[in-house]
Amino acid sequence: YFVTPAQLGDNEVILSGDDAHHAVRVMRMEPGDEIIVSDGEARAAKAVIRAAAPDRVEADIAAWLPMDGEPLWAVTIAQSLPKGDKMELVIQKGTEIGAAAFLPFQSERMIVQYDNKKEAKRLERWSKIAKEAAEQAHRSRIPTVEPVKTWRQLIAAAAAYDLVLFCYEKEGGSGGAGLRDAVRDYRSREGSHVEQLRLLLIVGPEGGFTEREAAEAENAGAVVVGLGKRILRTETAAMVGLACLMYESGE
Ligand code: SAM
């Protein structure tokens, strides 16, 4: 479970709200059962439940654990808003595979009508999905989910990354070779000492990117990459790109 630093003391941890409910009502945990907790920042521990109520679980710290659930490379998935609940799928599966953050954005050929009145609620739901997936995957941190950006804001944000990969089906290529080569080129330019990379993986909507968007991304420093001969659905493309990057990172 992810708890706030204040809930994780030197000797005990307290679960409240949804987490206490999950432990007691869903997992049917009782005194004597073990839980794994993390404050998402610096500390993780194994703890033994001392008192279990649906609104509050108290547990004694049994051992401190290393914070080693995180990949070496921090990959942010910039996903053009897909329709239905596909963004939820991208966040859930992307968190399991190892994404550091999610950055939904709007683009020209996006199919969904973006309604920013629902923004706060949607962000809350997406963040909850990231938290639950991070717990299930034994991550040390919960990936962040950013508020939906415009295309312009995305291009401006791209400058903060070591390498920006723009997934474009018209680029063809074989499998993840484009991604792999882009990362290898970057590392051979910057030196093999570059271990920790901040990568931005940009994936288009169901309708694909326009040529203008591809050109603008390239002008902003992105490397245009293909994921192979087959056209992947938008949510598949994000997962394939992320998995290829995790593989190339050696983790
Ligand atoms: N119409 C399908 C759908 O409903 O999802 C496929 C859409 S595909 C155009 C969506 C996005 O996935 C593209 O904008 C691109 O970013 C990425 N993508 C899909 N296949 C790709 C490939 N072979 N190479 C690179 N990117 C790809």
For residue 231 and ligand 1, the question of a CB distance below 6 A is answered with: yes
Q: Is the pLDDT of residue 14 over 80?
A: yes
Give the CA distances from residue 67 to residues 36, 80, 221, 243, in Å, rounded to whole numbers and listed in that order.
12, 31, 33, 21
pTM of the model: 0.88
Which residue among 167, 210, 229 has the greatest number of ligand 1 atoms within 8 angstroms of its CB, and so is best to mutate? Answer: 167
Task: Summarize pLDDT for 191-230 with one digit per residue, the tens.
Answer: 766 678 999 999 999 999 999 999 999 999 999 999 988 9
For residue 65 and ligand 1, the question of a CB distance below 6 A is answered with: no
Distance 208 CA to ligand 1 centre (A): 6
pLDDT tier, 68 (very low <50, low <70, confident <90, very high otherwise): confident
Instruction: Please report the pLDDT score of residue 208 as a whole number.
Output: 94
Which residue among 107, 211, 231, 244 has the greatest number of ligand 1 atoms within 8 angstroms of its CB, and so is best to mutate? Answer: 231
List all residues 6 or more positions away from 218 whose beta carbon is below 8 Å from its beta carbon.
Answer: 166, 224
Task: Return the HEC string of the chain.
Answer: CECCCCCECCCEEEEEHHHHHHHHHHCCCCCCCEEEEECCCCCEEEEEEEEEECCEEEEEEEEEECCCCCCCCEEEEEEECCCCCHHHHHHHHHHHHCCCEEEEECCCCCCCCCCHHHHHHHHHHHHHHHHHHHHHCCCCCCCEECCCECHHHHHHHHHHCCEEEEECHHHCCCCCHHHHHHHHHHHHHHCCCCCCCEEEEEECCCCCCCHHHHHHHHHCCCEEECCCCCCCCHHHHHHHHHHHHHHHHCC
Distance 209 CA to ligand 1 centre (A): 9
Average pLDDT estimate for 53-65: 95
Distance 201 CA to ligand 1 centre (A): 13
Task: Summarize pLDDT for 103-142 with one digit per residue, the tens.
Answer: 999 998 887 777 777 888 999 999 999 999 999 998 989 9
Quote the percentage of the chain above a pLDDT of 90.
72
Query: For the chain, what is the mean pLDDT?
Result: 92
